[in-house]
Structure 1
């Protein structure tokens, strides 16, 4: 190959490498963001589970109150 062709090939390889490096950085950012979303989602699910448990206890207590006051239907 001539020097001009070698320079064109090297320039293209440099552009490809730069593009690949940008893609790798973008992928790293996306991985971090997805990881953060997974953590938040896990926290929300835990909170919802806790709230459901509390609501179940409230439901049980309300049922007992209704039975004691003869307000519950048989």
Structure 2
């Protein structure tokens, strides 16, 4: 009887181990997804920064900047 109970406990532990492995895989995937999103944000900020550099001379030339208004 104890042997049967131990077999059931072992089966449940095996299922728990399997679920833990699944959770580890999902967390790993989420980590890579987060890294990818951070890189995308850095790219967007870089593009916006370059746009500001390109727009400043245009605004000055068209007298649209705040410095030319005063």
Q: TM-score, normalised by structure 2?
A: 0.87
Unaligned runs of at least 5 residues, structure 1? 1-7
Q: Which has the larger radius of gyration?
A: 1
Is residue 38 of structure 2 the alignment partner of residue 37 of structure 1? no
Residue 61 (str. 1) matches residue 54 (str. 2): yes
Which structure 1 residue ranges, 4+ long, deviate > 4 Å from structure 2?
none
Gaps of 5+ in 2: none
Q: Name the TM-score, length of structure 1 as normaliser.
A: 0.83
Secondary structure at the aligned position of 2:66 is classed as coil
- Length, aligned pairs only: 67
Q: How far did residue 71 of structure 1 move?
A: 1.6
Question: Is 2:28 the counterpart of 1:72?
Answer: no
1:18-56 Cα shifts (integer Å, max 9, x gaps)? 000000000001111111111111111101101111011
